[in-house]
């Protein structure tokens, strides 16, 4: 694989402290890969090595086929990076800042206006394009940080908590944008919002204590939890039904949410046992839907082992 990103046995030490060790994974063009792990797991170090901000102590990173150590300038020009805390200059206007970024990233003079306009459109900044960045809300400043990562149209994007500080509408818009950008780019997405990762990513990398715990499809991870979630639409007293079902063999938790009784538990016969208990209690079972465990459950199981 020449396009996308290859992380090959990468380690990084700070003196005697090992931040990451033997980290390996790849990101294909047209893929959004989730990067998960608790605080201190090595996510930020990994992203900084990929983007060329840190030199690896061991291993190799290839960005769009370019080695980040052998040719760091060329590798950086192939990456757009949005750090978690983006320090965008408050005294510059949005357009002036993006023009400056385009020049730094080697966009030819004749193409800069179009490049800046494209990034402004992608990040939905048109109505504040002439405003000074320091006068903008945190959400708009986050969008400016995303626009600067897009201005040179890189084949690789590294996004660290890209929806942090955004309101619900902006979060939805940003997720939609990331999904569109990931259709032809290699995107690495780090987020503490596991629901966000589940929506955007087919595969995830889980780090803990600087090492890779898993590189896997989300579907495979969630299926491996062994947890089954049942959603029941019933007639009758839902709270009473939840209390009754809590005593069924294999049930670990029950709750009433949004007009449904939600049951979590384990075992191949959980569904039939729950259905039989509902019928025996004289409750009307209108609908029963079953799903496997969530990404959150799979993640917690990995980092606790």
Nearest to 158 by CA among 18, 264, 54, 21: 54
pLDDT 10s digits, 156-194? 999 999 888 778 888 888 889 899 989 989 999 999 888
Joined together, the tokens standing for residue 134 give: 């320091």
The SS3 assignment for 34 reads: strand
β-strands 186-190, 31-36: how paired?
parallel
Residue 271, pLDDT score: 86
Residue 224's pLDDT is 67
Tokens of 88: 């965008």
Range 140-160 burial, b when 16+ CB lie within 10 A, else e: bbbbbbbbbbbbbebbbbbbb
37/214 Cα distance (integer angstroms): 10
pLDDT at residue 28, rounded to an integer: 95
CA–CA distance, 215 with 102 (Å, rounded to integer):
34
The DSSP letter of residue 271 is H
Which domains does the chain carry? 5-222 (3.40.50.300), 227-292 (3.30.70.100)
What pLDDT does residue 226 have? 66
- What is the rounded CA–CA span in Å between residue 81 and residue 152? 11
208 contacts 302 by C-beta, under 8 angstroms: yes
- What local confidence, expressed as pLDDT, does residue 1 receive? 43
State the pLDDT at residue 87: 76
**Strand locations in the chain (E):** 5-14, 17-27, 31-36, 58-63, 66-67, 79-82, 156-160, 186-190, 203-208, 211-217, 228-235, 251-257, 260-265, 284-292
- List the chain residues with pLDDT less than 50: 1
């Amino acid at each position: 694989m020449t396009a996308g990103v290859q992380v090959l046995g990468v380690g990084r030490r700070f003196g005697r402290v090992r931040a990451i060790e033997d980290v390996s994974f790849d990101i294909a063009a047209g893929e959004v890969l989730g990067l998960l792990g608790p605080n201190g797991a090595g996510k930020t170090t990994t992203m900084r090595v990929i983007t060329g901000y840190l030199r690896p102590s061991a291993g190799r990173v290839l960005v769009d086929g370019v080695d980040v150590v052998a040719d760091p300038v060329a590798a950086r020009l192939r990456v757009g990076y949005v750090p978690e805390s983006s320090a965008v200059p408050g005294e510059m206007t949005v357009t002036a800042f993006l023009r400056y970024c385009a020049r730094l990233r080697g966009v030819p003079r004749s193409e800069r206006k179009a490049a800046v306009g494209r990034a402004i459109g992608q990040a939905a900044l048109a109505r504040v394009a002439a405003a000074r960045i320091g006068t903008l809300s945190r959400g708009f400043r986050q969008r400016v940080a995303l626009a600067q990562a897009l201005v040179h149209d890189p084949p690789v994007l590294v996004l660290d908590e890209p929806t942090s500080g955004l309101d619900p509408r902006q979060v939805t818009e940003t997720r939609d944008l990331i999904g569109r950008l990931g259709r032809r780019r290699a995107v690495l997405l780090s987020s503490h919002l596991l629901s966000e990762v589940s929506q955007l990513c087919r595969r995830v990398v889980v780090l803990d204590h600087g090492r890779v715990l898993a590189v896997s499809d989300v579907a495979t991870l969630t299926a491996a939890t062994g947890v089954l979630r049942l959603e029941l639409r019933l007639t009758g007293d839902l709270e009473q039904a939840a209390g009754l079902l809590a005593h069924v063999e294999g049930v670990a938790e029950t709750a009433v949410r949004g007009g449904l009784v939600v049951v979590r538990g384990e075992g191949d016969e959980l569904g039939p046992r729950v259905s039989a208990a509902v019928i025996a209690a004289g409750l009307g079972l209108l609908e029963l839907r079953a799903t496997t465990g969530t990404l959150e459950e799979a993640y917690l199981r990995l980092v606790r082992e």
